[in-house]
């Protein structure tokens, strides 16, 4: 079985791809960022008078990206607890890792029940966001 998942409760994709695709018992989420569904605003971004990004709040973006992942999971009939693997992309690994790690720990307080995680520092993402998650969830058979 191969089903695509789209939901208005998560930000629209910035390209031609679904929010997620279910293949058998696995759900593969496309990269999910912290844009606010409906408005595409980015929580915690601070711009100067000329519209240039000058700062971001990784905690605010982490909370929104978690909410967006939850929305996609729910649209697919999955739960937060069904996540098995998460790849985290941070545009400022040195500056944001400690605060992101605290947000992760609040979202997954029991390391034994948390999904596996890999965190990478990258130079840019397609929109002016500081974080993106790539997730895999395991779903019970239909």
Mind listing the pLDDT tens digit for each residue in 55-112? 999 999 999 999 999 999 999 999 999 999 999 999 999 999 999 999 999 999 999 9
Residue 49, pLDDT above cutoff 60: yes
As for how many domains the chain has, the answer is 1
Q: What pLDDT is stored for residue 1 in this prediction?
A: 52
Which residue range forms the structural domain that includes residue 93?
2-138
Could you tell me the pTM of the whole model?
0.95
Per-residue DSSP letters for 91-137? S-HHHHHHHHHHHHHHH---TTTSPEEEEEE-S--SSS-SEEEEEEE
| Residues 101-142 pLDDT 10s | 999 999 999 999 999 999 999 999 999 999 999 999 999 776
Mean pLDDT calculated for residue range 1-11: 89
Give the CATH number of the domain where residue 37 resides.
3.30.1330.40
The enclosing H or E element of 70 equals helix 58-75
């Amino acid at each position: 079985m191969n089903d695509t998942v789209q939901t208005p409760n998560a930000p629209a994709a910035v390209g031609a791809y679904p929010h997620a695709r279910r293949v058998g018992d696995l759900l593969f989420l496309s990269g999910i960022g912290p844009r606010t569904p409906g408005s595409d605003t980015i929580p915690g971004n601070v711009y100067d008078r000329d519209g240039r990004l000058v700062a971001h709040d990784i905690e605010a973006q982490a909370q929104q990206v978690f909410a967006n992942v939850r929305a996609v999971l729910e649209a697919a009939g999955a739960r937060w607890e069904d996540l098995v693997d998460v790849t985290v992309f941070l545009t400022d690994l040195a500056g944001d890792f400690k605060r992101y790690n605290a947000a992760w720990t609040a979202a997954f307080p029991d390391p034994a029940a948390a999904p596996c995680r890999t965190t990478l520092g990258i130079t840019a993402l397609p929109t002016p966001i500081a974080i993106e998650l790539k997730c895999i969830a395991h779903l019970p058979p239909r």
